[in-house]
Every structure is written in C-alpha cells, then in structure tokens.
Amino acid sequence: MLNKELILSHLQEHPWGSFLQVFDTVESTNSLARALAAEGVPSGTVILADGQTGGRGRLGRSFDSQKGKGLYFSLILRPELPPDRLLHVTPMVAVAACDAIEKASGLRPGVKWINDLILRERKLAGILTESSVNFETGFVDYLVIGIGINCSHEPEDFPPELNAISLHMAGAEISREQLAAELIRCLWEMAEELVSGKEAWLRRYAENCLTVGRRVKILLNGQETSAFATGIDPDGGLVVRYDDHSEGVISFGEVSVRGIDGYI
Ligand code: BTN
C-alpha cells in the first residue's frame, strides 16, 4: 500500500500536500478525480491509488494497473484556459513527468507523441488528460491530468503485445512515494506556467520527443497515412511531411512510430 505520510514527508510543506488523497484500489483515479472535481474540490488535489480495476488510456484503451506495481496518479487543475487552448497541456505534462521520473530514478524517458513515455523503445508510462468546460464562462472548469507509470513489474507481468517496460526492468529500484512527490513538485512548476509560459515547455517537449525525425503511420478517422515527422508546432501538434511533399499538423488521432510500435 502507498504510504501517504511518506509522500508528505518527501513533499516538505508543499502547497498541494494538504489536498492529497491516497486510496487502496479504485476503478480509475481519473474517474474518481472527475467526480471530485465536479463536487468542487480545489485545484491541486491529487488522487493516488495502489491499484486500479478499470484504468483508462487514450482513445478508449485500458491501462494495465496491477496493484502495488505502478504509480496511478491524477491531478485536478482549474486553469483559466479557453478550451481551444488545451492541446499543449498533455505535452507540458509529459515534460514534467519525464523530469519527475529522472529525479526519482536517474533514468530519463523520451516521449512518443503525444502522451506515451518511452524507455528503451518500450512504453514506461501513459498520460490521459481530460477536461470539463463551463459553457457559461467559456473557460475550462477543470482539468484532470492522469499519469500511470510502470514501477516494479517483472517482464512476465506484461502481455508481450503491450511492448511495456517498468523502471525495475530498466534497472532502477525506486520508491513510489518519492516518485509521487517528485511528480507533484514537477507538475506544480508546470501548472504555474500552463496559461502563459508554454513556449519553453514545448521547446523541451520537441527535444524529448522521439517521434520527431522518424517515419510515422497516422490513423485518423479510420484512415491510415504514412508520413515523416519533422517537428512540433507552437501548440504541441505534430508537424509531418507526407510522401507527396505536402505538410500537415496532426492534433489528435493515433500516431505509431517505426521501432517503438514494432512495425517495420
Ligand atoms: C494511455 O496510455 O493512453 C494513457 C494512460 C493513462 C493511465 C493513467 S493511470 C492514472 C489515471 N487513471 C486512469 O484511469 N488513467 C490514468
């Protein structure tokens, strides 16, 4: 079981420490965070669970959430952001999560556009950002930033098709409590700059993005296209060059990357 007191001792009087909620097993920390956000809990509330029975990923996928083996983390934020300016949130979170993982383990993952953290060409962590818009104000009411990190899994804990890795498999024995505290600190720094400071974060995202400079397959509305990823645009979209030399920006959908997703 995750030790809340230990997390708080790593946090040393952090402004978000008093909002921390730690659970044994929940269906999904993101679902719980959304319910709590709708009830009005403050910005900076962090929900952690030792295990999830229905961990959710992007594009309706599930997220493998074995009890005691991973960090299952959701943060509620209430930024003053219009909904059309949400695309850069997940890239900024990805950079903050890479920073936190590096601080806790000494290993720095890269990012597969837009929300997967990759170590040794395998998936180490995933990010699921969800939002609710207040149609009266035209602003975001709340954001739920969900992060799942594989910590102590053995290779046999993952079905091979997941192409997953844990920090333990990569040689790092970490404390989940310290990792949680580093995540809270790094996400706090990110949240301070969420509305006005995205440029520097997106520069760092581009530097950490393993997708840039590779051939990618893009799956959009059931249609598959092949392209070359050339960069990240000012909102966090993936800039690609198609085979007919035209350029485009991918803002959502699925992008698979040669090598990382095991396609040749
Ligand atoms: C993905 O791989 O597409 C994103 C995975 C996000 C998983 C985390 S675990 C904590 C939080 N609760 C969830 O149900 N999902 C996120």
Provide the mean pLDDT of the chain.
95
Q: Is 126 exposed, middle or buried (0-12, 13-18, 19+ CB in 10 A)?
A: buried
The percent of residues above 90 in pLDDT, for the chain, comes to 87
* Ligand 1 close to Cβ of residue 30 (< 6 A): yes
Q: What is the predicted pLDDT for the residue at 156?
A: 97
Q: What is the predicted pLDDT for the residue at 223?
A: 86
29-48 pLDDT, tens digit each: 999 999 999 999 999 999 99
Cα 148 to averaged position of ligand 1 atoms, centre (Å): 5
For the full predicted model, state whether its pTM sits above 0.75.
Answer: yes
Q: What is the predicted pLDDT for the residue at 262?
A: 67
Res 264 pLDDT > 60: no
d(CA 194, CA 201): 9
184-204 pLDDT, tens digit each: 999 999 999 999 999 999 999
Q: What is the predicted pLDDT for the residue at 263?
A: 60
Query: Residue of the nearest CA to atom 7 in ligand 1?
Result: 148
d(CA 235, CA 91): 9
Cα 188 to averaged position of ligand 1 atoms, centre (Å): 19
Q: E strand or H helix at 86, and its extent? A: none
Stretch 245-257: mean pLDDT? 88
* Ligand 1 close to Cβ of residue 127 (< 6 A): yes
Query: Residue of the nearest CA to atom 16 in ligand 1?
Result: 146
Q: Which of 124, 126, 116, 145 is nearest to 216 (CA)?
A: 116
Please check whether residue 17 is in contact with residue 8, taking contact to mean a CB–CB distance below 8 angstroms.
yes
d(CA 2, CA 180): 10
Cα 216 to averaged position of ligand 1 atoms, centre (Å): 23
Three-class SS state of 145: strand
Res 173 pLDDT > 50: yes
45-93 pLDDT, tens digit each: 999 999 999 999 998 999 999 999 999 999 999 999 988 889 999 999 9
Res 111 pLDDT > 70: yes
Q: What is the predicted pLDDT for the residue at 248?
A: 94
Stretch 219-233: mean pLDDT? 91
Cα 30 to averaged position of ligand 1 atoms, centre (Å): 7
Q: State the residue for tokens 């310290």.
A: 178
* Ligand 1 close to Cβ of residue 126 (< 6 A): yes
- Closest ligand 1 atom to residue 55 Cα is 14
d(CA 182, CA 176): 10
Q: State the residue for tokens 């440029």.
A: 199
Please check whether residue 107 is in contact with residue 172, taking contact to mean a CB–CB distance below 8 angstroms.
yes
